[in-house]
Amino acid sequence: MPLLNDGNLERQALPTGQYGYSATRLDDLGAAEYTLVTIVCDASPSVSPFVAEMEKALREIVQACKFSPRADNLMVRLVTFHGDMTETHGFKLLERCNLDDYRGTLRIGSATALYDAAENAISAVADYGKQLTDADFSVNGIVFVITDGEDNSSTLGIRHVREALTRAVQGEAMESLVSILIGVNVNDRRIGAYLQDFKTEAGFTQYVELEKADAKSLAKLADFVSRSISAQSQALGTGGTSQTLGF
């Protein structure tokens, strides 16, 4: 997996041996608590008709988070995937996330490695969360996996995603983890049923479905994601997860 490291992040290996990730060095952190946000976004060929709108939604998510009262306590990681995965950036302090960096970030490729990307996102947030916890930071996490179709090229399966979620939730990596699977442009009942089954079998916290991928729908998605991030960050210190929000 290519890691488009900006020089301020440190590369990390995963105990599972599946790819890796990058993250802000612990010595560079100034707050006592953090919510780790991971956004995983499909960049397979079927996304190309609405790629500009999807990139705009990503910018709107980051912009909304910057106005959050918890902005100083957020770190964001963005991963895109098609037949392979690309880490656009690792766990980066929100203040260092520039909106222009999310232009042209969805580089369309072939195939859909949905399971590989989901497993990496969950394993990475758990691994970095444990490092923070071991260093006496308070930490929780939230993962969004956004896709419009079925996996057709992963080396891993649903079982591996489920195992990663189980390790993250039941271990002592962080206070809590919310995981949300989002189906975009799902106007085929078969695809909708497939994604609902993936949510259930893997153990995601929530499944959200958008029938369309027009500007209005994706703006609504951006609002939902930013509100979910804010809610989970505000839940830090309570010992539990945030309440599930309606779309």
Report the pLDDT averaged over residues 101-115: 93
CA distance 195 to 16: 25
DSSP states of 94-115 as a string? GGG--GGGGSS-----SS--HH
CA distance 236 to 247: 22
Report the pLDDT averaged over residues 140-166: 96
Report the pLDDT averaged over residues 196-212: 97
Residue 246 pLDDT level (bands cut at 50, 70, 90): confident
Sheet holding 206-209, edge to edge: 9-13, 20-24, 85-93, 74-81, 33-42, 138-147, 177-183, 206-209
For 99, the token pair is 């909106």
- Percent of all residues in the chain with a pLDDT value above 70, rounded to a whole number: 96
**pLDDT score for 6:** 61
pLDDT digits (tens, 9 = 90+) for 9-66: 999 999 776 689 999 999 999 999 999 999 999 999 999 999 999 999 999 999 999 9
CA distance 76 to 245: 20
Contact 227, 233 (CB under 8 A): no
**pLDDT score for 247:** 79
> Does position 182 have pLDDT exceeding 60, yes or no?
yes
pLDDT digits (tens, 9 = 90+) for 154-167: 999 999 999 999 99
For 158, the token pair is 């649903």
> Does position 243 have pLDDT exceeding 60, yes or no?
yes
**pLDDT score for 7:** 61
**pLDDT score for 32:** 97
Q: Within 10 Å of residue 31's Cβ, how many Cβ atoms?
A: 13
CA distance 2 to 19: 9
**pLDDT score for 171:** 85
pTM of the model: 0.95
